[in-house]
Amino acid sequence: MTLVGRTGQDDAMTIAPAAPPPLSGEPGRGARPPRDGTPDWPHIARELADDLAIDAVEREQAGRPPADEVARLRESGLLTLLVPAEHGGGGADWRTAYTVVRTVAAADGAVGHLLGSHYFLSHGPRFFAGAGHAARIEREFTAGQWFWGGGIASREPPLMLTPTARGHLLDGHQRYGSGVGVADRLLVRAAAPGTGEPLAVLVDPAHPGCTGGAAGDTFGQRLAAGGALGFDAVPVGREDVLGSLSPDDGVLSPFAGLAAPTARLVSAQYCLGVAEGLLGEVREQGRAVRSPWQAFSPQPWPGSPPQDPYVLTAYGELAVCARAASALADQAVDALTRGLARGEDLDDDECAEIAVLASAAEAAASRAAQEITSRALEAVGASAALARHGLDRFWRDTRSHTLREPVAHRLREVGDYFLNGAHPPFSLPA
């Protein structure tokens, strides 16, 4: 089944699938790269998405580990998109990365989740380590074309670090990590010896002391390779301890605090991508098949199936839902982009404003995705339940994601800031 509605070229009702700016004005397949020689990353992402869409249903239903999907990401060059060009990477910014995540998620939600998590985790050194330390890791990352997995969410109990003559040993169990079945490097949360301070730690999963793998019984995101992790005396060099993840006041700089809204907006763009992917699928079916409401209508509606007023109303409501959440995400990305550009000049109040806006955007995108992936199937009718169409995967991917990231916490943060001016706590999503 071919995905539609991703290029913004069909008609006025197309929902733009990527983060700001909308893709409707960007070149399509076969376009030339910019004159400065910089890769056209949105175009590359669309080509990859078109490729993934061809067999998305079959791959999702097979549920095999996503080794081939990660290989496709690696071959496209998208893995190192955020690394500065002087360190061997793509030299793109987070606005572009969000566009790419949203585009890929529209075609394959699990791969979009893998890529979004990879971008956030691989950018961790920029937030939590010094500039020189981050540069060294980025050069190794690009040379090895690493795919990053793991997780540093505060709700995970920290792993334990034990000092040794050459660094540390890592022990413990982590309940959930992203991409753990296919990762070349893991970024995890560990407790400093003595103080218990949470630290971001880089680990090579090839060590025999690392165990775990993708959970095989999840009903959604079957190709996201998420699962539990175990560590038994895994060596960690001193240079692989990046820095603090402590939420205590004054520990993290406001710039490091931007890690939280950056991750929240990965979640928002993922939700919007999956929702828009389903809208594209059902829109194409709705243009070609008889409306499910026509059988119960007291009078036949003239013309083709899209003239059914109930169908038009349903699509109108879902389009408004998607566009409203997308506009809020655009605002949050703009604010984050300005904050990242300020670097260490960013202050606490500015960081809090960005964090609240990102929380609002994530909550809106989560609700929109749940609404769209539940209601869009009604416009297709009973045929939407046919396994060969695979339309249920959009709902399952959305719910698997939003169950890990409940919007209630984000709404509480927004409300507390609105009513009391309280800065949201530093917390990272799963």
| pLDDT digits 0-9 by tens, 337-364 | 999 999 999 999 999 999 999 999 999 9
- In the predicted structure, residue 406 carries a pLDDT above the cut 70: yes
Task: State residue 400's pLDDT score.
Answer: 85
Q: What is the pLDDT of residue 179?
A: 85
Number of domains in the chain: 3
Q: Is residue 5 part of a domain?
A: no
Contact indicator for 304, 28 with CB cutoff of 8 Å: no
pLDDT band for position 379 (cuts 50, 70, 90)? confident
Is the same domain home to 266 and 321? Answer: yes
Mean pLDDT score, 209-226: 66
Same structural domain for residues 123 and 41?
Answer: yes
Average the pLDDT over 395-417 and give the result: 90
Using alpha carbons, select from 131, 127, 103 the residue that is nearest to residue 24: 103
Q: What average pLDDT does this structure show over 70-80?
A: 96
CA distances, 171 to each of 149, 186, 375, 408, 417 (Å) = 18, 14, 45, 33, 38
Residue 123 has pLDDT above 70, yes or no: yes
Q: In the structure, what pLDDT confidence band is assigned to residue 9 with cuts at 50, 70 and 90?
A: very low
Contact of 401 with 344, CB cutoff 8 Å: no
> Does position 255 have pLDDT exceeding 90, yes or no?
yes
Same domain? 379 vs 406 = yes
> How does residue 36 score in pLDDT terms, banded at 50, 70 and 90?
low
- 7 within domain boundaries: no
- Domain co-membership, 295 together with 396: yes
18 occurs within a structural domain: no
Final residue of a domain: which of 225, 244, 263? 244
- Better pLDDT: 6 or 90: 90
Q: Are residues 390 and 337 in the same domain?
A: yes
What confidence category does residue 299 fall into, taking pLDDT thresholds of 50, 70 and 90? Answer: low
Confidence of residue 197 (pLDDT cuts 50, 70, 90): very high
Query: Which range marks the domain in which residue 275 is found?
Result: 254-420
Task: Say if residue 33's pLDDT is above 90.
Answer: no
**Residues 227 and 262 both lie in one domain:** no
Q: Is the pLDDT of residue 91 over 80?
A: yes
Q: Is residue 77 part of a domain?
A: yes
Q: In this structure, is residue 17 part of a structural domain?
A: no
Mean pLDDT check: name the lowest of 7-11, 353-357, 395-399: 7-11
Q: Cα(264)–Cα(261) distance, rounded to whole angstroms?
A: 5
Angle separating helix axes 94-107 and 109-122, nearest 10 degrees: 160
Distances (CA, A) of 187 to 52, 151, 262: 27, 6, 16
Give percent of the chain above pLDDT 90. 60
Residues 208, 233, single domain; the answer is yes
Strands 159-164 and 148-151: unpaired
What confidence score (pLDDT) does residue 326 get? 97
Gap between the terminal Cα atoms of the chain: 31
Interatomic CA distance for residues 152 and 378, integer angstroms: 38
Residue 25 pLDDT > 60: no
| Same-domain status, 118 and 207 | no
Both tokens assigned to 37: 């020689």
The answer to whether residue 350 sits within a structural domain is yes
Residues 318 and 415 in one domain: yes
φ/ψ of 401, rounded to 5, equals -75, -50
Nearest to 79 by CA among 63, 60, 92: 92
- Across 93-117, b (16+ Cβ under 10 Å) vs e yields ebbbbbbbbbbbbbbbbbbbbbbbb
Say yes or no: 80 and 228 in one domain.
no
CATH code for position 194: 2.40.110.10
Q: Of 59-68, 282-291, 298-307, give the lowest mean pLDDT range.
A: 298-307
CA dist., res. 260 & res. 139, Å (int): 24
- CATH number of the domain bearing residue 350: 1.20.140.10
| Region 177-194 average pLDDT | 91
pLDDT of residue 57: 83
Any alpha helices (H) in 343-426, and if so which ranges? Answer: 348-380, 392-404, 407-420
Residue 322 has pLDDT above 60, yes or no: yes
Query: Is 59 part of any domain?
Result: yes
Q: Is the predicted pLDDT of residue 14 greater than 60, yes or no?
A: no
Residues 373, 326: one domain?
yes
At residue 203, the pLDDT reads 96
pLDDT value of residue 158: 79
Q: What is the arithmetic mean of pLDDT over 396-421?
A: 91
| Averaged confidence pLDDT in the chain | 84
Query: Which of 129, 144, 159 is a domain's end point?
Result: 144
Mean pLDDT throughout 108-123? 95
Say what the pLDDT of residue 430 is: 74
Using CA of residue 87, residue 93, residue 94, residue 97, what is the dihedral sign? negative
Indicate if the pLDDT at residue 390 is higher than 90: no
How far is Cα 146 from Cα 123, in angstroms, rounded to an integer? Answer: 12
Q: Residue 175: which of 189, 195, 161 has the closest Cα?
A: 189
> How far apart are alpha carbons 143 and 234 in whole angstroms?
23
Does residue 221 sit within a domain? Answer: yes
254 contacts: CB under 8 Å, gap ≥ 6: 346, 347, 348, 350, 351
Residues 341 and 396 in one domain: yes
CATH number of the domain that 125 lies in? 1.10.540.10
Q: What is the pTM of this model?
A: 0.86
63, pLDDT greater than 80: no
3-class SS of residue 197 = coil
Q: Could you say which of 221, 244, 267 is where a domain stops? A: 244
